[in-house]
Amino acid sequence: MLLLLRLAILMTALTAQASAARQILFVTHSAGFRHDSIPVAVRAMEDIGRRTGAFTVTATEDLSAISAAGLAAYDAVFLFTSGELALSDQQKRDLLAYVRSGKGFGGAHSATDTLYSWGEYGELIGAYFDGHPWVQEVSIDIEDPDFPGHRGVAPSFRMVEEIYQFREFSRDRVRVLQTLDTATVDLRAAGVNRADGDFALTWCRPYGQGRVFYTALGHFDETWRNTRFQQMLEGALQWLVGDVAANAAPRTAEAPVVTAVRTPDGRDGVQAPGALVRIDGVHLTSGSTFRAEGTGALPRRLAGTRVELDGRPLPLLSVAPERIEALLPGDLRPGGIAAVTVSVVNRTTVPVTVPIAAAAPTLLGGVRLNGALVLYATGLGEVTPAVGDGQVTPLAPLSVLRQMPVLRVNGAEATVFFGGLAPALIGVYQVNAMAGDLEGALEVELETAGVLSNRLVIPGSQTGSAADSVLGQ
């Protein structure tokens, strides 16, 4: 009897869960070009719903479903359509009212190649198709890593796709989520119509009380089968039906301004080859903050932001509207002047000049470890063998400094027995020295090539291992 009662409770819970699942209407009517990927798209949408248990997808090519009565049963409607759909004026009014009332509206790929004669549709979805200059493998940047489904995909992914460009597109009315990395295409290719270099591929926006999402991806079967694409789509669909929250407010691309290029601890002055640098300013991203954690080699673009030194893209550790952390190339020639620029989407700062010296030592952190001091720093100069820009330092062979720094502990020179790049980190040097029986707080300072570092205090009570540093990598 007790077992039957438990089963009844379980069945009631499962029934309640199924009845509470959101409903999505997936319209795949083609009045123009029909994509071969539609059947795979339907299966992908249905599979995402089943896998998550968050929603049920009903696919149809029957346009009569787009009506006040037909849409009433659904939490969102999603289009993979083309051409001038035969919608009556009443159906058009019903669709707009449905979204404004608080429901979701989404579209994939050719959903912008639809309903050109209905201007309100273009305003709803955010733009109209204006050709596809490239059908190739490209890199796609995640411009808003906080949008549902994006965290595990950022900072970028590669995909073979038919890449759309758009007309009647404005960042003033949509929040761009993904953009084409134009470094992976030929901007002189036939059919390129945009002169501003802004090739948004995925966006969202509020519409009345409702939510709108569009992605230009989806031409090929392989796109819909791609696990990263499905992960992004899963997050977007759950946002469309109202189960997860996200900021969809448009973000206008303000002109970025660099105010200073500094050492990581905020000092102005010279920089060194291979050094970590801090770039301060305003509007240095389109609004996102993101750190390239767990990405292996550092990316050259984060959240739509790119930094160049004399036209050479720099590896980026983190970006935020008011600060960027970047890594200078290890082969810079000391004694020269370099120019730093920051590009946000398609707007670039005025160049800021930076003098380059042989060394610009900056202490980042340190620990006592078994009678030794293990210090972490940047800007200590040339190593051998060299490590590729933005690459993780290998465990072997060790990359050793060509010129060992002088270390002073509480004003007295200490014996350094290793100096070089820290294994398993990026752009960070490690200096090991004898600590002996020194007690209490230790004030340490480095000198390299005649340049003094900042002073760092290591508390007397500090214990731990090299992994306990404050570097955050």
Q: Per the structure block, which two tokens stand in for 180?
A: 């084409």
Query: For residue 2, is it within any domain?
Result: no
Phi/psi at 63 (nearest 5 deg)?
-70, -15
- What CATH number is associated with residue 43? 3.40.50.880
Same-domain pairing of 63 and 119: yes
Same-domain pairing of 329 and 388: no
**Which helix or strand (DSSP H or E) is residue 78 part of?**
strand 76-79
- What CATH number is associated with residue 401? 2.60.40
Same-domain pairing of 216 and 284: no
Query: For residue 286, is it within any domain?
Result: yes
Instruction: Report the alpha-carbon distance of residue 215 to residue 400 in Å, rounded.
Output: 48
Q: Per the structure block, which two tokens stand in for 81?
A: 């359509």
Q: Per the structure block, which two tokens stand in for 111?
A: 């959903």
Mean pLDDT, each 10-residue run in order, the chain (473 residues): 37 39 96 97 97 96 98 98 98 98 98 97 98 97 95 92 96 96 94 93 98 98 97 97 97 90 92 95 95 83 94 96 96 93 92 95 91 93 94 94 94 93 95 83 92 90 45 48
Q: Per the structure block, which two tokens stand in for 52?
A: 């998550």
A 10 A CB-CB count for 11 gives 10
Same-domain pairing of 63 and 137: yes
Query: For residue 423, is it within any domain?
Result: yes
Residue with tokens 């954690």: 293
Same-domain pairing of 162 and 265: no
Query: For residue 75, is it within any domain?
Result: yes
Q: Which residues contact 382 (CB under 8 A, 6 or more apart)?
A: 273, 274, 330, 358, 401, 402, 403
Same-domain pairing of 34 and 182: yes
The pLDDT of residue 437: 73
Q: Which residues contact 464 (CB under 8 A, 6 or more apart)?
A: 367, 369
Where in the sequence is the domain holding 264, given as residue range(s)?
A: 257-355
Instruction: Report the alpha-carbon distance of residue 257 to residue 299 in Å, rounded.
Output: 21
Domain boundary among 355, 380, 413: 355
443-452 confidence digits (pLDDT tens): 999 999 999 9
292-305 confidence digits (pLDDT tens): 876 578 999 999 99
Q: Per the structure block, which two tokens stand in for 466?
A: 């090299």
The pLDDT of residue 20: 60
CA angle 331, 336, 342 (to 5 degrees): 75
Complete DSSP assignment for 205-246: EEETTEEEEEES--SSHHHHH-HHHHHHHHHHHHHHTTSS--
- Say what the pTM is: 0.86
Cβ(218)–Cβ(309) below 8 Å: no
Query: For residue 4, is it within any domain?
Result: no
Instruction: Report the alpha-carbon distance of residue 316 to residue 262 in Å, rounded.
Output: 15
Query: For residue 40, is it within any domain?
Result: yes
17 bridge partner residues: none
Cβ(329)–Cβ(273) below 8 Å: yes
Residues 221, 223, 225, 226, Cα dihedral to 10°: 160
The pLDDT of residue 152: 84
Cβ(120)–Cβ(91) below 8 Å: no
Domain boundary among 206, 240, 274: 240
Q: Rounded to a whole number, what is the distance in angstroms from the first to the last CA of the chain?
A: 58
The pLDDT of residue 443: 93
Complete DSSP assignment for 315-381: PEEEEETTEEEEE--TTPPTT-EEEEEEEETTEEPPPEEEEB-S---EEEEEEEETTEEEEEEE---
Residue with tokens 């206008």: 252
Query: For residue 252, is it within any domain?
Result: no
**How does DSSP classify residue 396?**
S
Same-domain pairing of 457 and 366: yes
Query: For residue 185, is it within any domain?
Result: yes
CA angle 62, 64, 67 (to 5 degrees): 135
The pLDDT of residue 310: 95
Same-domain pairing of 405 and 380: yes
Cβ(257)–Cβ(283) below 8 Å: yes
The pLDDT of residue 461: 58
Same-domain pairing of 320 and 374: no
CA–chain centroid gap for 381, Å, is 30
Domain boundary among 208, 240, 272: 240
- Candidates 132, 124, 81; CA nearest to 104 is 124
Same-domain pairing of 332 and 407: no
Instruction: Report the alpha-carbon distance of residue 419 to residue 408 in Å, rounded.
Output: 14
Same-domain pairing of 180 and 55: yes
Q: Total domain count for the chain?
A: 3
Omega of the bond leading into 334 within 30 degrees of 0 (cis): no
CA angle 302, 238, 143 (to 5 degrees): 10
The pLDDT of residue 464: 45
The pLDDT of residue 294: 67
Same-domain pairing of 139 and 43: yes
